[in-house]
A and B are shown apart, each in its own frame.
Chain A
Amino acid sequence: AQSVTQLDSHVSVSEGTPVLLRCNYSSSYSPSLFWYVQHPNKGLQLLLKYTSAATLVKGINGFEAEFKKSETSFHLTKPSAHMSDAAEYFCVVSAPGNQFYFGTGTSLTVIP
Chain B
Amino acid sequence: EAGVAQSPRYKIIEKRQSVAFWCNPISGHATLYWYQQILGQGPKLLIQFQNNGVVDDSQLPKDRFSAERLKGVDSTLKIQPAKLEDSAVYLCASSPSQGLNTEAFFGQGTRLTVV
Q: A43-B107, A51-B100 are in contact. Are A97 and B43 (CB under 8 A)?
A: no
- CB-defined contacts of A41 to chain B, threshold 8 Å: 108
Total interface residues on A, using CB and 8 Å? 25
Q: Chain B: interface secondary structure?
A: loop
| Interface pair B103/A43, CB less than 8 Å apart | no
Interface presence of A77 (CB below 8 A): no
A-B contacts, CB under 8 A, total:
61
List CB contacts (< 8 Å) of B48-64 with chain A. 48, 55-56
| Interface pair A42/B108, CB less than 8 Å apart | yes
How many angstroms between the C-alpha atoms of A105 and B108 in the bound complex? 17
List CB contacts (< 8 Å) of B1-56 with chain A. 3-4, 31, 33, 35, 40-45, 48, 55-56
- CB-defined contacts of A46 to chain B, threshold 8 Å: 103, 105
Seen from chain B, the residues whose Cβ lies within 8 Å of a Cβ on chain A are 3-4, 31, 33, 35, 40-45, 48, 55-56, 91, 93, 95, 97-109
Seen from chain A, the residues whose Cβ lies within 8 Å of a Cβ on chain B are 29, 32, 34, 36, 41-46, 49, 51-52, 90, 94, 96-105
